[in-house]
Amino acid sequence: MSSADLEAATALKVQGNKAFAEHEWPTAVEFYTQAIAKYDHEPSFFSNRAQAHIKLESYGFAVADATKALELDSSYIKAYWRRALANTAILNYKDALKDFKAVVKREPNNRDAKLKLAECEKLVRRLEFEKAIEVSDPPSAFEELDIDAIKVDDNYDGVKLGNEMTQEFIDDMIERFKNGKKIHRKYAFQIIKAVNDLVYAEPTMVEIGVDKGTHLTVCGDTHGQFFDLLEIFRLNGYPSDTHAYLFNGDFVDRGSWSTEIALLLYAYKWLRPNRFFINRGNHETDDMNKVYGFEGECRAKYNETMFKVFSESFSSLPLATLVGNKYLVLHGGLFSDDKTSLDDIRKLNRHNQRQPGQQGLMMEMLWTDPQTEPGRGPSKRGVGMQFGPDVTKRFCENNGLEAIIRSHEVRMDGYEVEHDGRCITVFSAPKYCDSTENKGAFINIGPELKLEYRVFEAVPHPDIKPMAYAQNSILSMM
């Protein structure tokens, strides 16, 4: 490789840096990748791409790039730092700990690195403690909760909730949330208990049609961005007897109005159980909630018990929805085995396994991602795997499907149609985490089962940062 190659590659890196500064993370990755193709001996190209991958939540790719940078230069501190952040994000705290130690060793006066090292050591100790006291089959959090005995204060100024959900209560709840108020914890517990009972009784794969005179809206990740959720309803209409909604997971964590979104979605589910549907996402799980803010938010706005009952309700949620026998809607994606069928999803007893674990059908349904190359590949996230267009084609043909609809990943235009039209990603959190210049989208489906994509922009929200309730300060660096 010549000096001309290095010069051309450096120019591409500069373009990548510019795209990164403008929060155009996929474009930045493209430029860094082109730079590496021209000259693959410069560690900063890999380290910079690692940072862009972190922004895209491609933590597995970020670890690989930072590792390559360190192979080229074992003293490259930014690469240790970025690999530590990426490993922290996928809860590989022990690996992250080694890299934070490497940074502190090389920069003993780096106060921020010392703080992150101490935080990481605390996380490792907490994880070991939780593992030591873990109960294999914990009792129901609802058993020790006497909701009827909770008194609503006389000075509570909101609409009262009886034994049934009402539209009046929902309308009042929305206004309260918009104004920074809460609903009474008794009502929150009532909502969660009612919805837990409803969704527990639903099959692992809910099967629905779109009747004449009605339509269905499919939304992707909303991640605690409550004001953007209201924008969807403003633009597209609120849930009604003729307008069904399906939320495809990841409605909590990261954004700082996760309890508001969860309670609103649950309230609609209780009001219209056969017209409102919720799939579980990878962030409706304990390990994610403990790190990315939802547990901390429940504690701050309500109490620890609120998180426990939410956690139990999350494990009751269905994992997929089959729409009109044509579209399989699930949060992550497809499977490591071509033989996996819709019947396997139907037979999956999700109640035997409250958390998805590191392998198996549930983990794959919540975590996998599409790739452009045929076959299957390692996960860019460091969890699960990736599946190519041939895998999607075989699955759809074997199961009589037109396409799968999934979420789980930011798309700059809010949605993307891949794999020859058979794999559709929809993401409904615009300007994700206040740092990505993406649009949001949702999909409308009428009785003819044609897909209509609607794209929307983020709306202003009160000045509360994403991850405001996260227990892990390391992640604030991302």
Distances (CA, A) of 286 to 250, 378, 381: 13, 24, 18
Identify the CA nearest to 426 among candidates 409, 448, 438.
409
Strands 403-406 and 327-330: parallel
Q: How far apart are CA 23 and CA 263, in angstroms?
A: 31
Q: Helix, strand, or coil here: 243? A: strand
**What's the distance, CA 168 to chain centroid?**
30
Task: Evaluate whether 430 touches 418 at the Cβ level (below 8 Å).
Answer: no
DSSP of 38-53: H----HHHHHHHHHHH
Strand partners, 404: 328, 423
Q: How far apart are CA 381 and CA 133, in angstroms?
A: 29
Q: Helix, strand, or coil here: 447? A: coil
- 413's CB contacts (< 8 A; 6+ apart) are 438, 439, 441, 455
Q: How far apart are CA 395 and CA 378, in angstroms?
A: 19
Sort 153 into a burial class: Cβ within 10 Å, 0-12 / 13-18 / 19+: exposed
276-279 sheet: strands from edge to edge: 276-279, 243-248, 215-219, 440-445, 451-456
Q: How far apart are CA 215 and CA 206, in angstroms?
A: 17
* Residues identified as active-site: 283
Strand partners, 219: 247, 442
